[in-house]
Amino acid sequence: MMDRRQFTGRLAGAFIGATIAKAPFVPRWSSRARRLTLDAARLNAHLKALSAFGANPQGGVSRVAYSEFDKAGRAHVMDLMRGAGLDVGIDFAGNIVGRRRGSDAALKPIVFGSHIDSVPEGGNFDGTVGSLSAVEVAHTLGEQRIVTRHPIEVVVWANEEGGLYGSRAVSGQLTAVELQNRAWSGKTVEEGMAFLGGGPARVGEARRQRGDIAAYLELHIEQGGILERESTNIGIVEGIVGIRQWEVTVTGFSNHAGTTPMDQRQDALLSAAGFVEMVHRVVRAEPGRQVGTVGRIQAFPGAPNVVPGRVVCSLELRDLDSAKIQRLFDAIAGEAKRIGESRGTTFQFRALHENVPAPSDPAIRELIADSAKDLGLTTRRMPSGAGHDAQAMAQLGPMGMIFIPSIGGISHSPKEFS
């Protein structure tokens, strides 16, 4: 079994090989391409160094977007990008873009990338593997004095975990109202973009048009347990689920917990409890891979001796089919209304953001399969239940994703390991 580090290096090298083949960018493994091997020890050292930025006592990271840890981690990665010979800048959305000239300036860039921001109490591999592998690809090309025909761009997307804010700004899917959404750092998206060196007032200028890129490729951990369970080396992503998130406000009436009889309460938290159970029931009521989650909930005023008059919680729905997400939301909103009426409370839903589902490109899927086969690696095609910047980039050109196994299928946890 190939050592995992060697695998990462050789697969990316194989993809480069196909990229630099004289033929146009076609799904054909070219035996003419030189076999390039990345410096896997250097890549692993970079992963370890980056894990120090926002390290938490549980062994993972809390490097949330727009935090001091995020900013410091980005500065570290920009140094690595410069060391890899990339011309580094920050776009108006706060994305880090490293550029490398190609031999034919008329050709559109091939873009590699991922993110380095994490969820609170996240792991050390989500996003960082793809970001630092992309830097290593550029570094290897430089060391081997290889000039690809296409220009190459290495991108570290801003605020992926909050909702693909950086990549959706580039794909033109970010709305002005979303700039006021509040991120885990406490800053609004607008404040965060400026904090990272972007220019939110000019975020529209970060937008790129379909056809502005030749292809986008992202290496990422699976964040699920299929590859490990099947002892398969590589996941070839067929498509990335759509994700929609709402902020849900349940309004009742705050009152004294001692003197308000049980049958005269408008208890917002009791209604919210029924809501959480109902979401689970509605989402599981039909066949398929759809998922629904209430990941955050807060009762106000939050005192033990006050009947909660208000609850704010989150609702997230995911599926490869946008119409199914809408159907599930309509069913949930209808049932929430009935819960509210039965308890003298009301439900309001505020849309936060939407990641549109995105299929990967068949030609790139074939190229990944050929490259992996040539390296003696096993593959399987699979959907991504996690969201990725690649789904935003699919709006601009052919997209591909390469998954590597997650031990125990664990992710968004300090126990994450690949």
**Omega within 30 of 0 (cis) for the link into 301:** yes
> CA torsion 119→189→384→332, rounded to 10°?
100
Rounded Cα distance between 404 and 416, Å, is 12
387 binds, among ligand HGY, Mn ion, none (CB under 5 to 8 A by kind): ligand HGY
Closest CA to 118 of 197, 65, 42: 65
Selected binder of ligand HGY within 189, 206, 315, 386 (CB under 6 A): 386
Residue position matching structure tokens 């200028």? 205
Q: How far apart are CA 169 and CA 206, in angstroms?
A: 7
Going from the C-alpha of 335 to that of each of 14, 124, 190, 194, 375, the distances in angstroms are 52, 39, 35, 41, 52
Binding piece for Mn ion, criterion CB under 5 A, among 119-127, 287-295, 304-312, 339-347: 119-127
Residue nearest to ligand HGY (CB): 386
Q: Among 13-21, 59-67, 127-135, 313-321, which window interacts with Mn ion (CB under 5 A)?
A: 127-135
Select 84 or 93, whichever has its Cβ closest to ligand HGY: 93
What is the per-residue binding string for Mn ion in 75-114, x denoting contact by CB under 5 A? Answer: ----------------------------------------
Contact 313, 298 (CB under 8 A): yes
**Which of 261, 284, 296, 291 is closest to 184 using CA atoms?**
296
Asked if 222 is part of the footprint of Mn ion (rule: CB under 5 A), the reply reads: no
Residue 320 in contact with residue 357, Cβ under 8 Å? yes
Q: Which partner from the list Mn ion, ligand HGY, none does 179 bind, CB cut-off 5 to 8 Å by kind?
A: none
- What 8-state DSSP symbol labels residue 32? T
First-to-last CA distance in the chain?
15
Asked if 389 touches ligand HGY (CB under 6 A), the answer is no
Residue with Cβ nearer ligand HGY (269 or 386)? 386
Interaction with ligand HGY in 145-184: which residues (CB under 6 A)? 160-161
Cα–Cα distance, 307 to 309 (Å, whole number): 6
**204: its two tokens:** 């529209």
Q: Answer yes or no whether residue 17 interacts with Mn ion by CB under 5 A.
A: no
Q: Are 178 and 164 in contact (CB under 8 A)?
A: no
Question: Of how many residues is the chain composed?
Answer: 418
Contact partner, 248, from ligand HGY, Mn ion, none, Cβ < 5-8 Å per class: none
Stretch that binds Mn ion, among 57-65, 122-130, 183-191, 338-346 (CB under 5 A): 122-130
Q: Decide whether 220 or 310 has the Cβ nearer to Mn ion.
A: 220
Least distance (Å) between residue 128 CB and Mn ion: 9
Q: Which one, 321 or 366, has the nearer CB to ligand HGY?
A: 321
Under the binding rule (CB under 6 A), the answer on residue 387 touching ligand HGY is yes
Binding segment (CB under 5 A) for Mn ion, from list 120-128, 173-181, 187-195, 308-316: 120-128
Is 126 one of the binding residues for Mn ion (CB under 5 A)? yes
The count of chain residues that interact with Mn ion, using the rule CB under 5 A, is: 2
In the complex, what is the shortest distance from the CB of residue 122 to ligand HGY, in angstroms, rounded to a whole number?
A: 9
Of 347 and 403, the one with the shorter C-beta distance to ligand HGY is 403
For residue 292, the tally of other CB atoms under 10 A from its CB is 20
Q: Give the separation between CA 243 and CA 125, rounded to whole angstroms.
A: 21
Can residue 237 be called a binding residue for ligand HGY (CB under 6 A)?
no
Number of residues that bind ligand HGY (CB under 6 A): 5
Q: Are the CB atoms for 89 and 135 separated by under 8 Å?
A: no
Applying CB under 6 A, which residues contact ligand HGY? 126, 160-161, 386-387
Applying CB under 5 A, which residues contact Mn ion? 126-127
